[in-house]
Amino acid sequence: MLRETPQLAPDGLPYRLSILRNQAGVVVTMMDWGATLLSCRVPLRDGSVRETLLGCPSPENYLNQSAFLGATVGRYANRIAGSQYVYEGKTVTLQPSQGEHQLHGGPRGFDKQRWRILRQNDSEVLYTLDSPDGDQGFPGNFRTTALYQLTDDNRIRIQFTAWCDQACPVNLTNHAYFNLDATPGDIREHQLQLLADQYLPVDASGIPRRGLADVTGTSFDFRKPKTIGADFLADEDQQVVNGYDHAWLLNARGDATQPAACLWSTDRRLKLTVYTSAPALQFYSGNFLAGTQAREQGEYQNWQGLALESEFLPDSPNNPQWPQPDCFLRPQQEYSSLTEYQFTEQ
């Protein structure tokens, strides 16, 4: 189902909301501004329904938050240090959006633009966006599609594709914040598993200053499920960013048939499993959510939602030595990235 809102977006047109439903009764709502996931309501066997995503009260409220709630992020998700990179001997300068660095594609990234709906029905919506040469500093005329599907086995399936007529780094992801509890409280009581042997330490601005580190013996070891709060703020790598806001290099990188992460609600009744073809997952524990307008009333607090963003490692354009595929998309090539979020009742 597709409907338009009485409220108008910054371009003077209504927001267009797409509502997806499956046979299990899951209902997913999206909007074309930022190709944004607004809501995902999952019914349980006892007749209750859990809202699994953080969100704002209405579409126009998304313009007044800086947490990227549910948005499709690009051209390059996460951070590029100093808002520049060198490609084939030439320095490319980007528009900064977090201090001197670029975060999530720049001050007017894909989350702040209207995506065009190519097709939609009860199970899927296909968006497209054109980004001209020089947009936020990135080279090349760039076109991307984002296919969001709701499957009958309760998966939100996200397929990104992209093309560019000049070499350009590409890193598309969705920035949904999950909280699987009936009443969304502190996510540090959730249990998490990250199937990764290495993580990437960062400084206080989220920029990696040294190489990948082994998770063994650290607070970053989630290879076996553990409560997020068990080792929270236990070491300097967390303390500098007020919690977890780091990328893990996945053991199954590139294989979207293998689980990358699992998340359980506080009561362990609802489970989220993440599958992705991306090489890394950024686990962000919502360290600076405070002040973000909440769907029901008031504001969210820090650590009330978490993101599991499928992506290349942050600042990959400046670190070609990392053991992952090349993040540069070249003419005549196609970028493709698949991520699935599956909900199951335990």
> Residue 247's domain spans which residues?
2-345
- How confident is the model at residue 309, as a pLDDT? 98
280 is in an annotated binding site: no
Total structural domains within the chain: 1
**Amino acid found at 99:** G
Question: At 1, is the pLDDT very low, low, confident or very high (cuts 50, 70, 90)?
Answer: confident
Catalytic residue among 175, 246, 311, 340: 175
Average pLDDT for 6-35 = 97
79 is in an annotated binding site: yes
Catalytic residue among 51, 104, 309, 311: 309
Distance of alpha carbon 88 from the chain centroid: 29
77 is in an annotated binding site: no
Residue 238, H or E segment: helix 236-239
Give the integer Cα–Cα distance in Å for 218 and 115.
41
For the chain, give the mean pLDDT: 97
Judge whether residue 297 has pLDDT over 90: no
Pairing of strands 36-43, 49-51: antiparallel
- How confident is the model at residue 346, as a pLDDT? 95
Question: At 21, is the pLDDT very low, low, confident or very high (cuts 50, 70, 90)?
Answer: very high
Judge whether residue 47 has pLDDT over 90: yes
Per-residue pLDDT tens over the stretch 113-151: 999 999 999 999 999 999 999 999 999 999 999 999 999
153 is in an annotated binding site: no
- Known catalytic residue at 190: no
Percentage, residues of the chain above pLDDT 90: 98
Judge whether residue 189 has pLDDT over 90: yes
The candidate with the shortest Cα–Cα distance to 131, out of 115, 147, 107, is: 115
CATH code (residue 43): 2.70.98.10
- Known catalytic residue at 104: no
21 is in an annotated binding site: no
Give the integer Cα–Cα distance in Å for 96 and 103.
7
Whether residue 228 contacts residue 188, with contact meaning beta carbons closer than 8 Å, is answered with yes
Judge whether residue 296 has pLDDT over 90: no
Average pLDDT for 42-69 = 97
SS3 labels along the chain: CEEEEEEECCCCCEEEEEEEECCCCCEEEEECECCEEEEEEEECCCCCEEECECCCCCHHHHHHCCCCCCCEECCECCEEHHHEEEECCEEEECCCCECCEEECCCCCCHHHCECEEEEECCCEEEEEEEECCCHHHCCCCEEEEEEEEECCCCEEEEEEEEEECCCEECECEECCCECCCCCCCCHHHCEEEECEEEEECCCCCCCCCCCCEECCCCCCCCCCCEEHHHHCCCCHHHHCCCCCEEEEEECCCCCCCCEEEEEECCCCCEEEEEEECCCEEEEECCCCCCCCECCCCCECCCCCCEEEEEECCCCHHHCCCCCCCCCEECCCCCEEEEEEEEEEEC
245 is in an annotated binding site: yes
